[in-house]
Chain A
Amino acid sequence: MRVNVTVNGEARQADDVWEGESLLYLLRERLGLPGSKNACEQGECGSCTVYLDGTPVCACLVAAGQAEGREVRTVEGLADGDRLDPVQQSFVDAGAVQCGFCTPGLVVAAHDLLNRVPNPSDEEIREALAGNLCRCTGYEKILDAVRAAAK
């Protein structure tokens, strides 16, 4: 089937999409956007978090066909040209990026949190990032990055 979807502000089209295919596969393999990572494919790790019509979701749990006519914003769509989004910059500055696999999902989740709650408490940060697993950092520097981005 054909899927039409607006990705990072641009109208995109994909053909020969399998009906059981996920939005994550569509983004990575058909539209050439590898920012969202494919890890667990069961919504456990959050590495594929993207905005769907402004709401953070696991792209692996959205059927590609469900995105028809909708707006998707991926981690690639957060930066303004060459200028990183403040959340992205904060992750770099705080050393919150190690292997980097979980980073795109964490950045989108943190970006959404700070849009909703400009000055979150530590509890709110932990809750907002509860769906994103990181196996390297121990999370402390990620928390630092979000706290710094909130300032």
Chain B
Amino acid sequence: MEFLRPANLAEALAAKAEHPDAVPLAGGTDVMVELNFDHRRPDALLDLTRVAELAGWTVEDGVVRLGAGVSYTRLITELGEQLPALAMASRTVGSPQIRNRGTVGGNLGAASPAGDTHPVLLATGARVEVASTRGTRMIDADDFYVGVKKHSLAPDELIVAVHLPVATAPQQFAKVGTRNAMVIAVCSFAVALDPEHRRAGAAIGSAAPTPRRAAEAEEFLAAELPWDAPAPLRDSVKRRFGELVASAAAPIDDVRGTAEYRRHALAVLARRTLGWAWQDYLGSERTCA
């Protein structure tokens, strides 16, 4: 095994081009587990923790460019206002020790259906910036996940950053786990209101082979939410939304929960988070007026 230690992004991309099988290593919270348990023996590890270009974030024209190497802890402490749902999801990741190391870039690279940040990236219309020695391209979160732990990167590409719009309205993320800390999601859900475009994003995690958007539920909200005359939502709207979210799932029975339970829990998460987000929206509207 080789241990590649690029000092900057150009070196990292050159190393990935030369060793397409090299496994990128950032926080190590997934990759090291596989190594410790002898589940993976890659030819090379590509340590990205020295690449300064991945370690920061910027905000420009209402879009956060979040470096792939920014830890969850930093995201929570520094970007809670701009990216509320992503910060909420980050707070549910592992433990303080894990959040000190783990990154959104790593979550994307692992592309687990249960990754905590994925529903937020989908619901907010995030784009993933990937690069290789051939150049840089943007992948819509919608097109990023292509199968269980599979993403749409070419072998010579690295995830450089994630671009997310600064929140202009309430967002929510919720997750069901068997305990509060240190737990992988049984299912998870994110909703993001977008009053400017009269839209709301909705996406599910850990309830299909990939994280996925709940398209019908989104269309329903776009038509039903009383954007122009904000008023409390009728229960029937929240319930119907929950049903449509649940119907977007294609879950499996496994040790963490049954498919039936996951569908049920998603409907509950969707109903509640929509209620919370809309209530916040009403509150902020009243404050503004």
Contact = CB atoms under 8 A, between A and B. Distances in A.
A143 B101 CA distance: 25
Interface of B: 1-3, 5, 25, 27-29, 32-33, 35-37, 41, 44-45, 47, 49, 73, 94-98, 100-101, 180-182
A65 B41 CA distance: 16
Given A61-B101, A130-B96, A43 B29 contact: yes
Contacts of B45: 19-20, 63, 65
B2 A46 contact: no
Contact of A58 (B2, B41, B97): B97
Given A62-B101, A130-B95, A130-B180, 11 more contacts: A22-B32, A22-B36, A41-B36, A43-B94, A46-B97, A49-B97, A56-B97, A57-B100, A58-B98, A109-B97, A130-B96
Interface size class of A (residues with CB under 8 A): 20 to 34
Interface of B: prevailing SS: mixed
A130 B36 CA distance: 22
Query: Which one of B44, B47, B49 has the highest number of Cβ atoms from chain A below 10 Å of its Cβ?
Result: B49
Given A61-B27, A61-B28, A62-B28, A131 B182 contact: yes
A28 B47 CA distance: 22
In the complex, the 5 A-B pairs of residues with the closest C-beta atoms, listed nearest first? A131-B95, A130-B181, A19-B3, A19-B1, A41-B36
Interface in A43-91: 43-44, 46, 49, 55-58, 60-63, 65-66, 68
Contact of A57 (B33, B41, B101): B101
Nearest to B1: A19
A55 B101 CA distance: 9
Given A46-B97, A65-B45, A66-B47, A131 B181 contact: yes
A39 to B, nearest CB: 11
B28 A55 contact: no
A74 to B, nearest CB: 14
